[in-house]
Each structure stands twice: as C-alpha cells, then as structure tokens.
Amino acid sequence: MNKRLALKNCRIIHRDSNKSIADNMTILINENGIIEHIGKTKELKISKNYKTINLAGKYVMPGLINAHVHLFSDGKPFTMSSNESMLKTGYKLLDTKMGRALLKKRMKRNALNALHAGITTMRSVGEFFYTDVHLRDEIKANKFIGPNLLVSGYFLSVTGGHGAPYLALVSDSPWEGRKNVRINSKHGVDLIKICVTGGVTDAKAIGEAGRLQMTEEEVTAICDEAHKMGLLVAAHAESTEGVRIALKGGVDTIEHGAEMDEEIIALYQHNPKALRGYSALIPTCQAGYPVATLDSAITKVKHVVKENSKLVYEGMMVSLKQAITNHIKIGVGTDAAMPYVTHYDLWRELNHFLKYTSLSPNQVIECVTKSNAEILGIDHITGTVDIGKQADLIVLERNPLEAIQTLSEVKMVLIKGHLIKNPTVSRINKVDKLLNSKF
C-alpha cells in the first residue's frame, strides 16, 4: 500500500495541447496510487493523512511512454552480424539456466533504468523466452516497483524472415499464423508483434530490410485471430508494399513505416479490419538515424547495414511527415536496444520530431503521453494528469515545452503513486558523448 501523497505548489502541464500550464496547483494521490483530486493550492485543504511534498513551482506532467522497445539489450554499439554460426552459438548460450537468468537480470535493469529516466510505460515488442511476460507479472505482483509493461513475447515471422528463428515463432501459412497467435496468447502476452518485411539487423543484401515476407492472407489470419482475443497487432514494416499488406491485413500499428500513397493513407485513417477501425504509425527515427548518418569508421557496421539503415530512415521520415499532413494517429517509440538507442534517451526521438517536422513542442509532448496511451489502449489508466488515473508522473525543474532536453533531467518519478525521489540513471557515456557531439 502506498503512502497518500500531496504534490503541492506545482505547475501542471495539461494533457490538452490547447491549454496553458496550470500554476500553483496541488495533486492529491490516494493510497492505491490513483489521482483523487487536482486543484489550486490556495483552495485545497490537505489533511494530515497525506505526506506533503512542496514542489515550489516545479513542473509536473504525465510519465513518458515508449511504444517500441526491446529489453534484451541496452543500446551499446554492436555490429549487427548476420553470421549464422555466431548467432546459433549465442542463442545456445542464452538458452541455458544461467543464460536465461542473466537475460532476465539485464532486462529488469533496462526497464528500471528507463523508469528512472521518466518512462513510466514501455511496450516491449519482441523478446526471448517470454521473459518480458515474467517481468510484467512480477511487477503486477508487487515483487518490485517497475514501469507499466505491455509485452508481446516472441515475434511472429516466416521461415528466413526477420527475427527468425531465434527471436520469432515461424509460420508459413495462415493457419500456422493463427496457431502462433494462440501460442503467444497462452503465454500471456498483451499484444502480437509480426514481421511483415525484412529488417536491418539481419538483412544480407541492400534492400532486403524492406522486402515483403508475409502475404496478405497470412497477415489477415493473424489479425483476425488476435482481434478475437482482444489483442492489438503491431507490424514491423519497412517498405511501402510492406505497409500496404500490413494495413490491408488489419494491423493496428505500423512500426517504423515507409512512404505512403493514397490507398495507404486511407487505410491508416479508416481500416475496417483493424481492431478499432483505424491504424496508427510508430516511427522509430532514432533507430535508423545514427547508423545511417554516422561515419562507418565510428559505427563499424558493414556497407549493407549502413545502406539499409539509410533507406529505412529516409522512408520513415517521409512517412512521418505524410502522417502529420494527413492527420494520421502518431505515437512515439525508439526501438531501444538497437545500437546507439538507449532506454533512457526517449527525449532524442522527440527532439528529432521537433527538428524535422512541423510538430510543436505541445504536440510532441502529447504524442509521447496522451496519444501513445490511446494507441496502446491504456488511456483509461495512464497518459494524462487526470482524476481517476494512475499517478504515473514526472517532476521537472524546467519547462520541457521550452527545451525538450529538460526531459533528460527528471527530478522525481511517480509510478502508480510510488515516489522515486532521487531517480538515478545509468548512462552509457560513450553513446551519450557521440550523440551529443553529432546531433
């Protein structure tokens, strides 16, 4: 049971981008970690049942939501080798009692590092051995205080497809796809992640990252099976045709994205096969940008990896700008775990939006909080500072609407009302130094 908290004398950043910041406010949080009252400090009497924290004009806003992460790695540079014998050896070592224990320890550390950086909700979209499910269940059972986790377990892929066979359940027909949805569901996942096209990390030729791998019939069967269970479907898609097939099959989110045509734009806006009648875009600009733009002498990646990263990154940026122009629902995810994409630097993705699109600071903040919560189907629980919602909040010294990098300087974090008064982020100095100097 939490302590009752009163966050006194704070400035609340509203969920509605049309509203100004509310000054001299107090937020009351009950013993269940739920926001029970918000009001002007001078008009609100705080009983002795509450522990009062005088924020003295600091800013309070919803906790950040990262809609696309992998907890199995931390963002340190790696060369993304596609050598089959190395991959097989690495997987065998991982699939041991000690290997699984070390994997779980690393995933827990990455989740907590993100939480201390102000990321109160994470959607994990592809992990080994359902370790993400186990972590989520431990958090829900109060075995440790962690972020809200939405988890997908294994990818669903095809023979030779992205993530296969080590990170994916493999199917080569609509019925096998349905079976794999059922397997993941039996293990307790919150969503289904499918790989409609190839990806950068295991592509062996330029252009393979976006090459179509699933058929429309396979995607349709998977979506139909998942939607019957109330599960949303996220689709890795890195080419125009991949996005088209994914949307026609009924996926709920496109991860990464690619240039759109009129048919694709219309399907995003009104998708009859999607669970909620529309589909959303989760670009992951930071996943492509460093490898695509940094000198290969720094990244040590092969020519094929660099060229595929450039193609995918360029397609994502075109897609993002088209989505803004056409009022398509946009969320924010980083693909944390990829080289140079840490679990604590979500602000870099937002900064990317600000630098290269027409979105305002208010709109970007809304994307990473309210809009993300809506896309993930958890807006009734979190994503805004509202009475009746979980106290998933961050406290900042400075206004992030004036300087988005302020989000890297979180002073306090609240998760379901649990207060982390002095959050500590474990940083990868080599990555930070490089990104700060280049971008």
Does residue 90 surpass a pLDDT of 90? no
Task: Return the pLDDT at 421.
Answer: 95
Beta bridge partners of 60: 12, 395
Tell whether 75 and 37 lie within a shared domain: no
The domain that holds 231 is classified in CATH as: 3.20.20.140
Q: Token pair for residue 67?
A: 């809609």
Residue 169 lies in a domain: yes
Residue 428 lies in a domain: no
Tell whether 257 and 398 lie within a shared domain: no
Tell whether 71 and 56 lie within a shared domain: no
Tally of CA atoms within 13 A in the half-sphere of 318 that contains its CB: 14
CA dist 240 and 331 (Å) reads: 19
Tell whether 53 and 142 lie within a shared domain: no
Task: Return the pLDDT at 381.
Answer: 97
Tell whether 400 and 259 lie within a shared domain: no
Residue 311, Cα to own-chain centre: how many angstroms?
22
Tell whether 36 and 150 lie within a shared domain: no
Identity of the residue numbered 279: S
For 31-57, the pLDDT digits (tens) are 999 999 999 999 988 999 999 999 999
When divided into structural domains, the chain yields a total of 2
Tell whether 346 and 402 lie within a shared domain: no
Tell whether 10 and 150 lie within a shared domain: no
Task: Return the pLDDT at 15.
Answer: 58
Taking the complete model, does pTM exceed 0.85, yes or no? Answer: yes
Residue 230 lies in a domain: yes
Q: How much is the average pLDDT of 127-155?
A: 98
Could you give the maximum distance between any two Cα atoms of the chain, in Å?
68
Residue 434 lies in a domain: no
| Distant-in-sequence, close-in-space partners of 325: CB < 8 Å, separation ≥ 6 | none
Q: By three-state DSSP, how is residue 304 classified?
A: helix
Given a contact cutoff of 8 angstroms between Cβ atoms, the answer to whether 249 and 223 are in contact is yes
For 282-322, the pLDDT digits (tens) are 999 999 999 999 988 888 888 999 999 999 999 999 999 99
Tell whether 129 and 269 lie within a shared domain: yes
- 153-163 b/e with 16+ CB inside 10 Å = b? bbbbbbeebbb
Task: Return the pLDDT at 84.
Answer: 76
Tally of CA atoms within 13 A in the half-sphere of 350 that contains its CB: 28
The one-character DSSP state at 215 is: -
Tell whether 274 and 193 lie within a shared domain: yes
Does residue 19 surpass a pLDDT of 70? no
Task: Return the pLDDT at 16.
Answer: 57
Residue 288 lies in a domain: yes
Task: Return the pLDDT at 88.
Answer: 85
Tell whether 192 and 329 lie within a shared domain: yes
Residue 425 lies in a domain: no
For 231-247, the pLDDT digits (tens) are 999 999 999 999 999 99
Range of the domain at 192: 64-376
Residue 323 lies in a domain: yes
Task: Return the pLDDT at 438.
Answer: 79
Q: Token pair for residue 201?
A: 């990390």
Residue 50 lies in a domain: yes
Given a contact cutoff of 8 angstroms between Cβ atoms, the answer to whether 13 and 400 are in contact is yes
Q: Token pair for residue 401?
A: 């609407």
Q: How far is CA 228 from CA 109, 172, 225, 236, in A?
A: 34, 21, 5, 21
Tell whether 21 and 87 lie within a shared domain: no
Q: Token pair for residue 10?
A: 């704070």
81 — pLDDT class (breaks 50, 70, 90): low
Q: Please choose, from the candidates 314, 346, 315, 313, the residue with its C-alpha nearest in 3D space to the C-alpha of residue 331.
A: 346
